[in-house]
Structure 1
Amino acid sequence: MKSSLVNVVWFSEKRRNLLLLLKEGKRDIEQIKKSLNVTSRSIMPQIKTLKHYHLIVQEGDYYSLTGVGEIVVKNMLPFMENSRILEENREFWASRNIDAIPPHLFSNIRKLGHYFLIEPDINHLFELPREFIENIPKSKHVTTFVSYLHPAFPSLYSEASLSGVKISLLITKETLEKLEHEHYEDFRNMTEVDNIDIFLYQGNLKIPMVTVTDWFSYICLFNKEGRYDHRDIISFDESALSWCQDLFEHYMQNSKKFNPEKIAEPLIGISEMS
């Protein structure tokens, strides 16, 4: 019976569409035909099949989901929404290293919602994307964890912190070394304000950067060869903000707060934290 239900639902687009339509409420045959743009001849066999498997029921002129039908549709939707996310940019997702995303979060990848894939042209390949640069200063709170340090990143976050943006920054040991050694002034500026918290990740972070603010989220992933190819995702959906925040909290479990006193002078502090 379980196998038959799978076949009934997934082997017919018309049946899937009808089940999804009836999730919104009962419909008569004329409403079904209009909503799905079908004829009576094409949809009646599908209705008969769904009735046979007790997924829909007819009461008078109206069709509605049964209790079993409601359960089936409820479990259909996450799979379909996850599939939509991956299908929209199939090559991109197939080429990503997703090991850095814990399974319980990747299974909810649908929460990225209506996202945009940013693919810079060759002339801007090594620049921070305009969408990122423009949106950071507009945010009231910025949460970021980063292992790939773009040269423009320190000054952007230094300016944001000095302008009052609340920042939570999770970095790797290697990123900390680069900040201390190569961007000392910007890093010192960030540690001298009260509105930034810096955390050191105690492991190997296999993700270039994930940023979530009060109104947008930004995700960078390495490809399967372990390279960052500057193809990023941005989303403004509330569900994406929540998903990225959960990802940040996942990595926060293996981190500790950085003591800013350790950068009183350049080139020191790393050995003390090891």
Structure 2
Amino acid sequence: MKQQLVNLLFFSDKRKNLLLLLAEGPLNIDKILDLLQIPRISLLPHIKKLKEEGLIVQNGAVYRLSIIGDILVTKARPLLDAASTFEDNNYFWSHRKLDSIPFHLLRRIGELKGSQLVEPGLTHGFDLFPETINHFTGSSKVMLLFSYFHPQIPSFSLELAKKDVKMQLIFSRDSFDRFSGDFRDTGEEILAKKNASIFVHAGIPLEIPSLIAISETAVLLGFFNQKGRFEGQYLLSFEPRALAWGRELFKYYLDRSEKVCSMNFPDSSPHNQKAPDDL
């Protein structure tokens, strides 16, 4: 690739945003100006450059990517999305243990682009993902993974189970031991519900995310910091790409977990049981 084409793709936000916009399909100039929220006189020089290099094609007032432009944007987009993901919440990502994310998903981290950083306020500092919990209590299907223990997890999980929410719940071994030791009756109530399943991941807690919570419309992700502590910060997204990414991450750990048949696990739990179908 010519250095000039690389410059066209990466060294101007206006050109980059225009190319990414046209990757979604042809648009007329008025719609482009409206979506990019920039004046015509500011955009026209960039359109001229992209046309000269053969990256976009004009047909009247309508612009589209050329075949070359489509190839370059398709190749560049994962990198641009990944950079945007890290830039949006730079401090959060730079201080997290990312080795809990399998490599094939880490390569697609850009699918979390646009995620919101959720930090509990002082009045809700001890609540279980406050201000977002309604996205899960109102859903008909929920996936949950906890590798830390929070005293509200048992009651929250039982509430979902009683609402006939189809729930898959994964614990790290340590968090399950705490759950089964202090909240055994609650656990047995959950297991008695046909719509709820509990699993235990056999690995070291720090090898998995601190939290994965996925409903039909939202994904909430938490990761330990570099020192192995969970700071109560979450990434929240409602984007379809992020939801699909989160479901893959959950399934990765579900496939490596064992189903719990009673709160006496592992003594009375058969090994290698198949997990129920994905949500």
TM-score after normalising by structure 1: 0.82
Deviations 1:88-140, CA, capped at 9 Å, x for gaps: 22211222211111222233333335433211133432221323433332121
Q: Are 1:169 and 2:169 matched, yes or no?
A: yes
Superposition map of 1:115-264 within 5 A = 115-205=115-205, 206-260=208-262, 263=263
Q: Is the 8 A contact 1:144 1:210 kept in 2?
A: yes
Deviations 1:18-42, CA, capped at 9 Å, x for gaps: 43455442657x98788642438x8
Q: Which moved more, 1:216-225 or 1:102-111?
A: 102-111
Amino acid at match of 1:248: F
For residue 170 of structure 1, report the CA deviation from its aligned partner: 1.4
Q: Which moved more, 1:95-104 or 1:77-86?
A: 77-86
**Equivalent residue number for residue 25 of structure 1:** 26
Q: Is the 8 A contact 1:133 1:156 kept in 2?
A: no
- The structure having more radius of gyration, on CA atoms, is 1
For residue 202 of structure 1, report the CA deviation from its aligned partner: 2.5
Local SS of the residue matching 1:131:
coil
Partner Cα distance (2:33, 2:180) in 1? 66
Unaligned runs of at least 5 residues, structure 2: 272-279
Deviations 1:199-228, CA, capped at 9 Å, x for gaps: 221212432110112222211111111110
Unaligned runs of at least 5 residues, structure 1: none
**Structure 1 residues 191 and 13: alpha-carbon distance in aligned structure 2, compared to 1, 3 A threshold:** closer
Local SS of the residue matching 1:80:
helix
Deviations 1:49-102, CA, capped at 9 Å, x for gaps: 434533235667876532111211223333333333322222112222111112
Partner Cα distance (1:79, 1:114) in 2? 14
Q: Is the 8 A contact 1:216 1:236 kept in 2?
A: yes
Partner Cα distance (2:28, 2:133) in 1? 49
Partner Cα distance (1:33, 1:211) in 2? 38
TM-score after normalising by structure 2: 0.81
Q: Which moved more, 1:191-200 or 1:115-124?
A: 115-124
Q: Is the 8 A contact 2:219 2:246 kept in 1?
A: yes
**Structure 1 residues 112 and 15: alpha-carbon distance in aligned structure 2, compared to 1, 3 A threshold:** closer
Please provide the CA RMSD for this pair.
3.0
**Structure 1 residues 49 and 220: alpha-carbon distance in aligned structure 2, compared to 1, 3 A threshold:** same
